[in-house]
Each structure stands twice: as structure tokens, then as C-alpha cells.
């Protein structure tokens, strides 16, 4: 009997909601990416109600679970003080949130970068790029971009209403704005697929380790660039944003 993939997806959503609640209550800057990931996963849950959207919905649902696990592990490692095992791109994102040094647009950008540019290649290599018959899973990988495009407007409006009204300002740096509007996401996901191919095709463990190190370094360099672009200018702080969050999340 075919298993309904939505049941597992609902468990992931419940875990995300559980993790999101205390972040909202404390107006943690980590809440921004968590909200984005929650709303994206909820949209994925609605998407798989169409049995014809993916070629192999059960496998994509498996990917959804593994992918979320990478994010949960990074968050848990960092917040229990294990910076050594936290991937560098995530360390930059979490440290920036802990320092409250960026507006919500920056938190969203560095979080999305860490999850796609760093996590996704390893997830794809882990779960496999081809079906049992040898055909590619790239078709379903690319289909994800379709529902991602449905998330953006509602997500940005919600962040502006609840956490930081500056996220929909017109003066965001170009690189940051491209992430916030999800315009760069499809290209990042394409890079992630190609990096997963590099991991899978590495001829030796030593070669694979070099590819992995390159992925880590690139994702971290992008995280640092986004962080530098997003920081509040000297003399400004997150005080106004934090007060706004307190007032709009009773």
C-alpha cells in the first residue's frame, strides 16, 4: 500500500512549531529563519496534496525530513555551546542573531544561505541523486522551486507585521534583497545539486573530503559577505526592532 507522505511532513511541521514558539516569545533573531522554514514546509505540505506534482512524492518527503534534521542539529549544537561541530556558515548566522547585529533581512539571508549553500549538497549526496532504475531525481529537485516561489510575498509581509517592518524597505543591499525576495534561491539550489554530484563522484574519501571542505568554505564566505552587508551601521542597534517585536507578538 502506498504511504501518504503528508503524515511524516506534519510531524516535521509540529517539531518546527515547537521550536519556533520560544523564539517568538523571546523575540530571538533566530525566529526569522525559523518562521521562513516553517512557512516553506507548510507550503510543501499543501503542495503534496496534488499527487501529480512530484514524480516521487514519498522520496521528496524523505528529503524534507533529512533536510530539516540538518538544520535542527546545527541549531541544537550551537545553542548547547558546541561551536566546533556547528558548520561555519551556521555559526556565522547564529552568532549574528545572538549579537542582534542585523535587521530581519540579514537574519533571513544568512539562514537561507546556510541551509541551501551548506546543508543541501550534503543532504542530496546522502539520500541519492538517482532512482533505483538509474534515472535522475533532478526533475523533482527542480519542481521544488515552483512552490518556493509561492512563499515569498506572504512570508515577507508576516515578518514585517510581527518582527521587523524594515524587511520590505526598498534600500536593501542587492545581494541581501535577492535572498529576501527568493530571486537567488533557484540558482543556489542548482549549485547545491552540482556540489552534491561532486561529492558523489569523488573517486576517493580524500577527494570527497576536499569537495566537502570547499562547500563549507564557500557557504561560510557567502554567509560572511551577507553578514557584512546587513549589519546595522555604527551607532544603530536592534532596539527599535526588538521593541516592535515585543509589541506585536503578545
- Domain assignment present for 50: yes
The crossing angle, in degrees rounded to 10, of helices 57-79 and 120-127 is 130
Number of compact structural domains in the chain:
1
- Domain assignment present for 131: yes
- Domain assignment present for 248: no
Kindly tell me if the per-residue pLDDT of 2 is higher than 70. Answer: no
Categorize the per-residue pLDDT at 1 as very low, low, confident or very high, splitting at 50, 70 and 90.
Answer: very low
- Domain assignment present for 249: no
User: 250: Cβ–Cβ under 8 A, 6 or more apart, which residues?
Assistant: none
The whole-chain average pLDDT of the chain stands at 94
- Domain assignment present for 145: yes
- Domain assignment present for 61: yes
Q: Torsion angle, CA of 69/136/206/83, rounded to 10 degrees?
A: -20
Contact at 8 Å (CB) between 200 and 136? no
How far from chain centre, in Å, is Cα 236? 27
Q: What does the pLDDT look like over 190-223, one tens digit per residue?
A: 999 999 999 999 999 999 999 999 999 999 999 9
Q: Please tell me the pTM assigned to this model.
A: 0.94
In the block, cell 530571486 appears at: 183
Q: What does the pLDDT look like over 159-193, one tens digit per residue?
A: 999 999 999 887 788 889 988 888 999 999 999 99
C-alpha distances (whole Å) from 223 to each of 74, 167, 217 are: 15, 18, 10
- Domain assignment present for 1: no
- Domain assignment present for 250: no
Query: Which domain does 207 fall in, by range?
Result: 6-241
Q: What does the pLDDT look like over 54-97, one tens digit per residue?
A: 999 999 999 999 999 999 999 999 999 999 999 999 999 999 99
Q: How far apart are CA 61 and CA 202, in angstroms?
A: 27
Amino acid at each position: 500500500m502506498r504511504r501518504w507522505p503528508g503524515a511524516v511532513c506534519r510531524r516535521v511541521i509540529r517539531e518546527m512549531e515547537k521550536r519556533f514558539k520560544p523564539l517568538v516569545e523571546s523575540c530571538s533573531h533566530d525566529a526569522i529563519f525559523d518562521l521562513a522554514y516553517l512557512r516553506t514546509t507548510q507550503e510543501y505540505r499543501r503542495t503534496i496534496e496534488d499527487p501529480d506534482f512530484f514524480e516521487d512524492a514519498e522520496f521528496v518527503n524523505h528529503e524534507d525530513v533529512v533536510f530539516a534534521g540538518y538544520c535542527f542539529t546545527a541549531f541544537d549544537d550551537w545553542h548547547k555551546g558546541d561551536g566546533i561541530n556547528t558548520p561555519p556558515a551556521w555559526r556565522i548566522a547564529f552568532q549574528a542573531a545572538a549579537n542582534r547585529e542585523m535587521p530581519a533581512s540579514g537574519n533571513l539571508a544568512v539562514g537561507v544561505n546556510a541551509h541551501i549553500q551548506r546543508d543541501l549538497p550534503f543532504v542530496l549526496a546522502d539520500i541519492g541523486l538517482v532512482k533505483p532504475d538509474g534515472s535522475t531525481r533532478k526533475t523533482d529537485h527542480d519542481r521544488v522551486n515552483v512552490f518556493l516561489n509561492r512563499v515569498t510575498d506572504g512570508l515577507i509581509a508576516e515578518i514585517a507585521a510581527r518582527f521587523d517592518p524594515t524587511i520590505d524597505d526598498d534600500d536593501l543591499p542587492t545581494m541581501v534583497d535577492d535572498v529576501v525576495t527568493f530571486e537567488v534561491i533557484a540558482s543556489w539550489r542548482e549549485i547545491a545539486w552540482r556540489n552534491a554530484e561532486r561529492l558523489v563522484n569523488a573517486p576517493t574519501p580524500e577527494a570527497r573530503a576536499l569537495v566537502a571542505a570547499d562547500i563549507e568554505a564557500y557557504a561560510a564566505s557567502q554567509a560572511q559577505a551577507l553578514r557584512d552587508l546587513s549589519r546595522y551601521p555604527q551607532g544603530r542597534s536592534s532596539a527599535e526592532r526588538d521593541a516592535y517585536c515585543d509589541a506585536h507578538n503578545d
